[in-house]
Every structure is written in C-alpha cells, then in structure tokens.
Amino acid sequence: MRALALFVSDVPAMRMEADAMTQENLIERLVAENEEFRRLRSEHQGYERELETLNGNPALSADQHWRVSELKKLKLMAKDRMEAIIRGNRSGVTA
C-alpha cells in the first residue's frame, strides 16, 4: 500500500515533466517554423546578454541605469509575445 502511495504522489511530478517536454518540443518547432518567434527569441537573448554585461559593472552611470530599465521592459515584452504565440499554438490558433 505504501508503494502505491509513493507512486501516486509522483504522478503530478511526472505530469509536470511531460508538460515541460511538450513545451520544449513546441518551442523547438516554433523556432524552426515561426519567423516572429525566432526573431523574438533572438532579441530576448540579446537583451539578456546586454543586461548581464551592464549588471557586471559595479558602478553604472545614469544612462546605464536607464538602459538597464529599458532592457528589462524590452525583454519582458518579447517574453510576453513569445508566451502568447506558445498559447496560441497550444490551442491550434496563431496568436
């Protein structure tokens, strides 16, 4: 009986792993097939790289602080749009 309880408690974790794999597969397909998604992903990664560079600087100027704020907003907008595309493709509708 205890073994069954352990198995049942693992079901949500296994379902989350399966969902993550499904999302990874969907993202791989979107990168291969959707030009907008590919562009947004590239922009998002570029914003992240620039943020890492700026955040590695111990003393930022006022302009650099402004740029960090701008990059965070741009990165979030790209992520939001990518999530909308993912949701649309999950339901079979192009976002």
pLDDT at residue 91, rounded to an integer: 74
- Residue 26 pLDDT > 60, yes or no? yes
DSSP codes joined into one string, the chain = -HHHHHHHHHHHHHHHHHHHHHHHHHHHHHHHH-HHHHHHHHHHHHHHHHHHHHHT-SS--HHHHHHHHHHHHHHHHHHHHHHHHHHHHHTT---
Residue span of the structural domain in which 26 resides: 2-90
Asked whether residue 21 is assigned to any structural domain, the reply reads yes
Q: Does residue 58 sit within a domain?
A: yes
pLDDT at position 56 over 60: yes
Split into its structural domains, the chain has a count of 1
Residue 6 has pLDDT above 70, yes or no: no
Average pLDDT of span 29-33: 96
The answer to the question of residue 95 being in a domain is: no
61 within domain boundaries: yes
